[in-house]
Structure 1
Amino acid sequence: MLKVKNPILKGFNPDPSICKAGEDYYIATSTFEWFPGVQIHHSKDLVHWELVAHPLNRVSQLNMLGVPDSGGIWAPCLSYDNGIFYLIYTIVNNNGHIKDTHNYLVTSSNICGDWSEPVYLNSSGFDPSLFHDDDGRKWLINMKWDNRIGKNSFAGHLLQEYDEQDKCLVGPILNIFKGTDLGCSEGPHIYKRNGYYYLMVAEGGTSYEHAVTLARSRKITGPYEVHPQNPILTSAGSDMHKLLQKAGHASVVEGPNNEWFMVHLCGRPLPETDRCILGRETAMQKIEWREDDWLYLSSGIDNLPSWEIEINNNNKGESNSEEIDLVSQYDDFENASLDINFQSLRVPAETFMSLTERPGYLRLYGKESMFSKFTQSMIARRQQNFVYCAETCLEFEPETTLQLAGLICYYNTENYYYLRVSTDEELGGKCIGILASINNDLSESMVQDDNILIVDAERVYLKVEVSFGELRFFFATNKDDWRPIGKVYDASTLSDDAIKGSWAFTGAFVGVACQDLSGMNKYADFDYFSYVEEA
């Protein structure tokens, strides 16, 4: 037996959509304002997962200039039919009560290859999904967003046929399911088995009341009856620090030996808090079909998620569930492209960086401020463990106070901790300090007069150590002479649960950044970047 310890995709990897192609399994997850869009992980055994692709890597597929924090890509759906991968996704352009939600389809015969130009589908809601029926017909379903004041915004699930030849939706639009009393019905997926159409949706909202609802019908158009023990998965009301939390937004797949599995969104709050600094992650549960043709969790423990499940692999070996899978990344920027774990904000990294102008260095050209929702110059990766250390080496000669570069721990434009190098004539030249923004409040930053002069340092080493809820910066002008700088900060502010006044659906990142608010495109060179997780 293979033992699987949850979560299977650690760090910010929400809204999982799983599919099978031959003997291969793939999971697509949301990326929101991070570019390139959509993460796709691959596995041969449902145990070991590897990030293999970001399919939306061109502006013609994904234009996010100006989208709000936690806008952009919502809840992609990945499916496979007759040798072709289909990826459906929403681009959300604003965060008001009246939403602009545009749904698109791209295809590819190679999941790691080039994907097609997008086919526009509709804008009636978000979380679209494509169902391939066994009669050859294809159907699009998405939640309906009702922008009328005083109405239920989560207004049901719209079904319409997709004409693959003409690349458009055809026929009537039908609202086939209005949801249950759990509310916030979204994230629909359709499956078919034994003559039933099964509709799986997320309900309860995407936080601690999250849940998975299942309904079925003999006709794809309904009417749908709800599972007798609904919801079939939730962690609502459970002990926050003993079970996976926020369980919901699921999809299912048939695995080896006719076993079935559900992947779903989850969260792991910091001890003694309700804050999930790793964002919404992906977990997996074993499920089973019973004689009544309904799905149930195989654990038999009500509808609660399990920390660990087993997969029958025909005695081909065992996986030790006690092993801690820690990530270590070192990038010396010698390659022609960035490590796949790096992403940029809203725009392609190629618009503000170079790996060739100075071989062996990442050169970032300074762009807009950390508050910008347009062109930020930042390369960052997900925080995937509660304890880690990240480090870089910077060469930067700022000419004005409007030029900054350094190491950043980032959640969104209003929440970050930034160890940055700049210059200040009144202090005497090049200096280092910390910008701290907590819900757009900068009062925790180092005051300018407390910045430390590093006038003669050509190279500056920057480091951050994060341990659960504590975050501490260090710097050095000689590699082994690390000095702490600033206070110990509250790492939990970099979480969905700490954000006020705006959407919060992502997770904590760590990376490097450069700003030039003078507009002169001053560059900074980074010699390396390392990220090492610790138990």
Structure 2
Amino acid sequence: MIQNPILKGFNPDPSIVRVDEDYYIATSTFEWFPGVRIHHSRDLKHWRLLTYPLTRTSQLNLKGNPSSGGIWAPNLTYADGVFYLVYTDVKTKEGPYKDCHNYLVTATNIEGPWSDPIFLNSSGFDPALFHDEDGRKWLINMEWNYRKREKNFNGILLQEYNPKQEKLTGPISKIIEGEEHVLEGSNLYKKDDYYYIILADGGTGYNHSVSVRRSKNIEGPFHQDPMLQILTARNHPDHPIQRAGHGSLVETQNGEWYMAYLCARPLSNKECPLGRETAIQKCYWTNDGWLRMVEGGGLPTSKTEAPNLREHPFKLLPEKIDFDEEQLPQYYQSLRVPVTEDWASLRDRKGFLRLYGRESLSSVHEQSLIARSIDEYFVEIETAVEFEPATFMQKAGLICMFDEDDLFYLHISYDNNLGKILQIIKHEQGNYDELLEDPIPIHIQSEINMKVMISREWLQFYYHFGKTEWQEIGPPLPFGNLGDEYSGKLGFTGAFVGICCQDLSGQRKYADFDYINYYYK
């Protein structure tokens, strides 16, 4: 059996493809850089993070992008020896408008190099590329309509893509009309005599679902599956796996079919701080040509039957990162900008990561922050930092965050009366607070060890220095605050944990981090 989710933690909007015996899933990365995570498997059960295709600012410039903007719903396909990746870069997501630019990059090797982007259109997000049997290529994407008294989700558009001219050509057809509910995340397939569109239906929250429509003509009309949602947990609020939707299909080399889809594992208060994850489920085609799940009766399942493939496990990731290598591990990302030696150096002090303080935790431009997504409800993360601030404008430490509006930050800073101190900052819905009424003075210049322990609904910070034992610092904090729907937030990522340094004075005061240890309890 395969245990779900297969990609734990923040890994939403999966697009799955098979090339010979290898399987790849591309997922959204939003404001985190590099762009688009691609995981690899050979058995659909064991997966490893393989690469990021968008590693250059010529491909992806996120500076100034809003949180939960950036990369939405990448679509990964393969044809004639070439990988095709289309994606949306969302520059505006709040208010009536959506500035969402759709691009295409290609590579002959999944690990790159990937090309600079070809601009496609900006009419709506969630693009997908379809390679027809006659060699023609088609782009579909939902259309966004900002006007009053109109349906925002205004239908699904189709236009041909000409690879020689590297642009969309010919007429634009609306192959599915807009409806009152959300229709997005469309993927187009052909099987036997039908074209099938797999739709993300009902929004990405608790009403999320997968629906299917089909037509014998690529330009429609497309007819609704009589089973309105083939996969959803919307009517089962106590089901352990929720928010199932945004499906994509793959056929194994042995003729078995699977759907990869996003899902979430909520806390008891329905918050989902782990973010939207990727699950997989075996499916089949009925005699009359409709898609159905093998297990679950239309519900997402915690397990699914594995395919008839030899198991292919991968080496487990190391728990401790000592910063002895020349590069950071792939599963650590930065906010909006690439990791470069001028602000995150592994060379300036051997065996340490030196972060030079830059802009504040509210910045959407140049933060000095390295983090990874949290993928389980029982984990501990610790680090050790050397930092000598000279002003309250300088900070460095251990952070748990959703975005600039919701975060918890244990850090070293400076107080005019106490000198160097430990303090905890909280951002809640954009409101700033300091949780220690009496900050803890630090009278040593050696390493300060910091740790956060996550136990489902709660997280707790700890510290020690010298030869002392771990000591709790601050109150238990609600982990659910770092969920994507906390207090009505319309966010799309998940909780991250990492290290960072700020210097609002502009002096670029640096902090030296000795290690990060991420381990499961």
Query: Structure 1 pair 152/326, CA: closer, same or farther in 2 (3 Å)?
Result: farther
Q: Distance in 2 between matches of 1:22 and 1:479?
A: 55
Query: Structure 1 pair 312/35, CA: closer, same or farther in 2 (3 Å)?
Result: closer
Look up the match of 1:332. 322
Deviations 1:196-222 (A, max 9, x none): 110111110100000111000011000
* 1:407-446 matches, cutoff 5 A: 407-427=398-418, 429-443=419-433, 445-446=435-436
Q: Distance in 1 between matches of 2:311 and 2:510?
A: 51
Question: In the alignment, is the contact (CA less than 8 A) between 1:475 and 1:482 conserved in 2?
Answer: yes
1:358 positional shift: 1.0
Q: Distance in 2 between matches of 1:168 and 1:209?
A: 36
Q: Distance in 2 between matches of 1:312 and 1:99?
A: 40
TM, length-normalised to structure 1:
0.94
Look up the match of 1:257. 254
Q: Distance in 2 between matches of 1:264 and 1:312?
A: 17
Q: Distance in 1 between matches of 2:64 and 2:112?
A: 28
Pairing 1:53–2:51 present: yes
Question: In the alignment, is the contact (CA less than 8 A) between 1:457 and 1:477 conserved in 2?
Answer: no
Question: In the alignment, is the contact (CA less than 8 A) between 1:144 and 1:154 conserved in 2?
Answer: yes
1:179 positional shift: 5.3
Pairing 1:525–2:512 present: yes
Question: In the alignment, is the contact (CA less than 8 A) between 1:327 and 1:532 conserved in 2?
Answer: no
Q: Distance in 2 between matches of 1:446 and 1:480?
A: 20
* 1:366-445 matches, cutoff 5 A: 366-427=357-418, 429-443=419-433, 445=435
CA RMSD of aligned residues (A): 1.6
Q: Distance in 1 between matches of 2:252 and 2:266?
A: 30
Deviations 1:270-329 (A, max 9, x none): 1x2110110000011110011101111112x43111111112426x5799xxxxx99752
TM, length-normalised to structure 2:
0.97
Q: 2:493 aligns with which of 506, 509, 521?
A: 506
Q: Distance in 2 between matches of 1:357 and 1:113?
A: 29
* 1:68-83 matches, cutoff 5 A: 68-83=66-81
Q: Distance in 2 between matches of 1:499 and 1:526?
A: 34
* 1:176-187 matches, cutoff 5 A: 176-178=175-177, 183-187=181-185
Q: How many residues align?
A: 518
Q: Which runs of 4+ in 1 moved over 4 A?
A: 316-319, 325-328
Q: Distance in 2 between matches of 1:60 and 1:327?
A: 30
Query: Structure 1 pair 121/13, CA: closer, same or farther in 2 (3 Å)?
Result: same
3-state SS of paired residue (2:305): strand
Question: In the alignment, is the contact (CA less than 8 A) between 2:388 and 2:445 conserved in 1?
Answer: no
Q: 1:452 aligns with which of 418, 434, 440?
A: 440
3-state SS of paired residue (2:480): helix
Q: Distance in 1 between matches of 2:447 and 2:229?
A: 56
Q: Distance in 1 between matches of 2:126 and 2:206?
A: 20
Moved more, 88-97 or 136-145: 88-97
Question: In the alignment, is the contact (CA less than 8 A) between 1:422 and 1:431 conserved in 2?
Answer: yes
1:256 positional shift: 4.2
1:13 positional shift: 0.4
Look up the match of 1:322. none
Q: Distance in 2 between matches of 1:306 and 1:358?
A: 48
3-state SS of paired residue (1:12): coil
Pairing 1:292–2:282 present: no
Look up the match of 2:449. 461
Pairing 1:493–2:492 present: no
Unaligned runs of 5+ in 2: none
Unaligned runs of 5+ in 1: 320-324
Look up the match of 1:166. 165
Q: Distance in 1 between matches of 2:466 and 2:261?
A: 46
Q: Distance in 2 between matches of 1:269 and 1:506?
A: 14
1:454 positional shift: 0.7
Deviations 1:365-397 (A, max 9, x none): 111111111111100001000010001110111
Look up the match of 2:91. 93
Question: In the alignment, is the contact (CA less than 8 A) between 1:19 and 1:78 conserved in 2?
Answer: yes
- Residue identity over aligned pairs, in percent, reads 49
Q: Distance in 2 between matches of 1:455 and 1:397?
A: 11
Deviations 1:41-62 (A, max 9, x none): 0000000000011111111111
